[in-house]
Structure 1
């Protein structure tokens, strides 16, 4: 048996141990098929040792999802036949990506290259709006990241499809940057930070070619979130400062408000309560000054409003251990959230539950946590981790109580969480 040196090197490039690769493959299968994976350390050892030369089925799909490349690029023999998608969830994903790749033919079959125009850009914008909608419903899943990446590649393929004015070319580059920034956000939300950084670099290059300050703001704002979740508050603050120094924050108070609110969340994570409180006050003032009818990018209109400001304040005050103020912002957020923002609702509810628990309101905290949908509680990586932390904290605050037993029973029977 020949050792698979290619796979070993790809793992080294990502800093993955055998156990970590198995974990990522299982997470990928959960996202793709809707069912938890059963990849073990032994599976990975067989892949590395050469005992498995031609992975098939779930193993193949998990490997390709983790490394974002076909099997042949990982040192394996290609499968003799391509098995169909495993279940309706995955089948819908493959159909969706196929539809994206059929956006437009690369070149006409006869004659001169086609001329790109406004209709091509509008089709890209409609697909981008679809990505935004999926993110607000689900968030963090590999299928969203992969679809956004495929659409970015299709947007770039348009550049080779024919001639276009400089204005249209810039808009196509901006659309590609927008798709890449959505892939970046999905990776951040799914705690796949290496992948997020890779998408960030690609998005930044495309945004520069587009010369679009709005998408630059989005990318740097996402970078702030990525660094904050990675425990790098100095880098988070620096990234947010880049976004806040763009001219659009002086032109539109909504951009100024978002930048200040995110700055407040960073100060909260860093333990600076005074700076956080000041940032949120300024953010609120800026939002109140904004013209609600002014034209803004679809991605901004889709998520930033009073509810998001309160969500960021909830995050900051939880970090500062000001649990009463955190809970107040949490309730305001939940009351104002738009119905389609299911992911945001689950995250805010989990944080409210934690704030209640830390104030000794065990029954209220339990009711809040148990109200989260099974879909979010078992399939959204960030919510899964937050609820696990809630359960651990509940065991510390109320060990052996009826509340702790109720929570354990709920997670086992209602959500059927994988061990």
Structure 2
């Protein structure tokens, strides 16, 4: 009974301190946004310009989407993107340049809509101000050189952005953020290295410093509805479960592009809950490495319980990252389970020297950023093996888990 009471107390504490990347305000339950916009999807399905059915954006596989667009000439592709930017721009498996072009149209349309709302005297002042702010954020996304891979203005807004040349990249990474991230905060100037855009830029710069001759791309992926502040959304897996389905589809879309190597996945805070669910069962062909930082748990008792071929890494700055105060419990759907940085979990460890808080792991000069870049490049010399002898990589006998690490500490290239 005493142990049960301690567990209940821990869960209660978790619900009061669990948050994502920024802020301690109590958050309300979020409405999950999934699937294509209903109106855009209906218009797409009704399009008879090719005299054949178009792939259903709600059900078509990324590989099937890639095959479909491969049958079209450039004019046909461009016309579809012009008529249906919200579909083509978010269609995993569609050609990269086409998605970039479609999303420029979609972002531009949202900017114009919000500018009109900001100038509408019939709206309350606070709504006009809000519209003006969103129009400004959309305008920044349209700056020359930005490559928007996904854009959905519904709700709080979801998007993904590519940093680097994804088509030419030999190494790739995907950054998945935690709570409080949406269109408004995607690339805010405050807490820059705690935003997906800031994380991605910093990681790309560090990979260029370490291996200037290796073409690399980093994708900032904020393609799910994140929790806001502290509340049940942050302490439960509801949003993570929905986001995991979307991330799985996104990763399948990357695989359909036939990259030189599967990406490394970097998951911050609540994003690590989502990633733990998303990689379950993947054989390593879609994700080479899964790195969790500042994680409250992955809804798994051990790395082996993830049943994935991806290598699992974890880091947390003890004493500096407040997430360490969140109890690693899971009861009645609350909490996210074991600490991925604990010895018993079985993840490889990443040093975090130089970071000073929950969202500093991508700050230039930190040991964590240097390690993240090395993992992305396939050369993590400073990484350490799992700190437990009885855990093993799924599918390999005990004692053979060192096969992925060279004697000099470098990871074996895939």
Same fold (TM over 0.5): no
Identify, as 1 or 2, the structure richer in strand: 2
Identify, as 1 or 2, the structure richer in helix: 1
TM-score under structure 1 normalisation? 0.28
